[in-house]
Amino acid sequence: MKHIFRFLAAAIALSLPLSPLGARAESSLPSLKAAAVKQPVLESRAPASSGPGVESLNLPPVMFADEGVVGNSIAKVLDAAQSTLDIAIYSFDYRSLRNAITEAAERGVRVRLIINAGTAYEEGKKPSADIEAMEKAGVQIRTLRGVANYYRGIQHNKFMIADGKIMQSGSFNWTKSADTSSSENVLFISDPATIKAFSGYFRFMWAQAHAIGKDVSEYAPPPADEELVSPLADASIEFNGEAFPAASFSPLGKTGETLARAVNSASKSIDVAVFSLNLYTLVDGLIAARKRGAKVRIVSDYMQAVGKSQIDGTLKLLEAGIDMRINDGPSEAANEGNMHHKFAVFDGALVETGSYNWTHGAETRNFDSLVFSAAPEVVEAFQGEFEKLFAASTKLKASLIREKIKEREEKAAAKAEAK
């Protein structure tokens, strides 16, 4: 039975106009353990009009899905779009967002959507009801898998670009459970350079993707690796003497190397909230950071931390003396929630977030992305979210991990003997 660790959190309420990668955290945060988890109530959406465009929206630049309804803010962008919507998403079942997309297509907005091939279909390989409804409305939809071992990789991005003027990124899948059961983050970004980079990346993926149904029978061989290296955004963010790009992309875009530079550049603290962590370049970098005196704290999803792909790295981190904790998201319902964030705060001065888990798969097989920001408002917001999450999580012990590794080895031995 899944071990459930719960935390209660309140979203940071933000209402400032968009600024490049900007956000502002409340100065005083509510007590986690006294807060109650609220199930979101969807706002009724007024019909979209041809009024002011997306640039006029007064959106919260950073949102966390602990309590607020992230879907409503995304829907506002979809409703305000006037010319184009480019969406790359891993999974999709959020009815209000589906309705907003179909309405956009019906009023003449060119909508292109890339979805992971493994989540686009229901049982029997039939396109999901959401996919069928959007296609019927004129939405251009393509599916995409990952690369390397073609059938193991996934299209894991979670971003949207509206009219080339505003984009949304973060860890948030367009699903109801993301708004009700998991720890998630969303950024609304108006920075032209970042939007330009993501627009180029979307075109790159669109060219590799396939029409709905074409992936059911057979795929052409994946492109050669050298054709898959997506360019990094221009380096524009300074941190401890190093230059970092506004965005970085997978597969094979050296995103892991860029993250490792951030880890290696931190001198005071590294706070990581990541669903899954098994890329050993980063595991070893975190251990080296602690040895040189940086304070390293990690929160991961429980099932991932003790899972087959991560458990050895988890033990390595714990044996190095790193304070690692586990969480399953804010949902009170058993087996529903995830600690699904993928962000880090370095020295309280630089933030990284996006769809990119700190894993070998994210680096080499998946279509993934992340953004960097040194905007004080963004850093403050994510630091506040980490502190809430860390306080509400359960500390892992190396002894527990050793027991689980022993159980795994005993099962493997018994299975081998049975053969």
Residues designated catalytic: 340, 342, 347
Contacts of 27 (CB under 8 A, 6+ apart): none
- What is the H or E stretch that residue 143 is in? strand 140-144
What distance lies between CA 96 and its chain's CA centroid?
20
CA dist 26 → 13, 30, 96, 359, 418 (Å): 7, 10, 28, 32, 59
The token duo for 204 is: 């790159």
- Burial class for 15, CB neighbours closer than 10 Å (0-12, 13-18, 19+): exposed
Torsion, CA 330, CA 332, CA 333, CA 337, rounded to 10: 10
CA 59/CA 53 separation, integer angstroms: 13
CA dist 278 → 3, 23, 30, 170, 328 (Å): 21, 30, 33, 20, 18
Which residues pair with residue 115 across a beta bridge? 89, 143
CA 176/CA 179 separation, integer angstroms: 5
Q: Could you give the strand order of the β-sheet that contains 247-249, starting from the edge strand earlier in sequence?
A: 247-249, 369-373, 350-354, 342-346, 269-274, 295-301, 323-327, 394-395
The token duo for 69 is: 């309804």
Q: Is the distance from CB of 106 to CB of 80 less than 8 angstroms? A: no
